[in-house]
Amino acid sequence: MQLTFREMQPEDADSVAALEQTCFPTPWSRESFWREASNPFACYLLAFAGDQLVGYAGFWVAADEAQVMNVAVAPEYRGQGAGTQLFAALIESARERGCTAMTLEVRPSNVPALALYHHFGFQEAGRRKGYYTDNGEDALIMWRTKL
């Protein structure tokens, strides 16, 4: 799939929040994305196929670490490599901002996401008990210590 990438702007908040609703059980609000688009310590990338928003992903910069906040691909575009392209672009953006390591949390039941992160060399480094409020599932903490 041919994708293009650009950074999220405040005016993208509506469309990103709409996509978020189709991807997560406890979605972030439009206001959260609007704020994040203006946060100098955050970077969110949008992926487009033509004019169509296909996915988004973002991280916060904390010193030289990138903390991944979300990664999502629209249900109808999954399983075709979009997530892999998006995550590669995210890592490149983190490098450009001087990050040398990247971390994230993921549900142990999220098989596609785990495949994606293992593909990019992330390793499990711990667990947060009962982290997810919708079903009390633990979070796996994953790190890639060299970007």
Contacts with ligand COA, residue ranges (CB under 6 A): 23, 71-73, 78-84, 106, 110-113, 115-116, 119
Smallest gap from residue 146 Cβ to ligand COA (A): 19
Residue 91 structure tokens = 């890592």
Closer Cβ to ligand COA, 81 or 126, answer by number: 81
The CA distance from 114 to 116, in Å, is: 5
- Structure letter (DSSP) for residue 10: G
Long-range contacts of 129-133 (CB under 8 A, 24+ apart): 131/105, 132/26, 132/107, 133/26
**Residue type for 131, please?**
Y
How many CA atoms lie less than 13 Å away from 39 in the CB half-sphere? 16
Dihedrals phi, psi of 98, to nearest 5 degrees:
85, 10
77 as an active site residue: the answer is: no
Residue 75 DSSP class: G
Q: Residue 69 or 101: which CB sits closer to ligand COA?
A: 69
Please report how close the Cβ of residue 77 comes to ligand COA at its closest, in angstroms. 6
- Both tokens of residue 68? 């991944």
Task: Choose the catalytic residue: 44, 56, 77, 117.
Answer: 117
- Using the minimum distance from each CB to ligand COA, give the nearer residue, 38 or 76: 76
Could you tell me the smallest distance in angstroms from the CB atom of residue 46 to ligand COA? 13
Q: Of the listed 105, 124, 132, 137, which one is catalytic?
A: 105
Residue 105 bears catalytic tag: yes
- Show which residues are catalytic: 105, 117
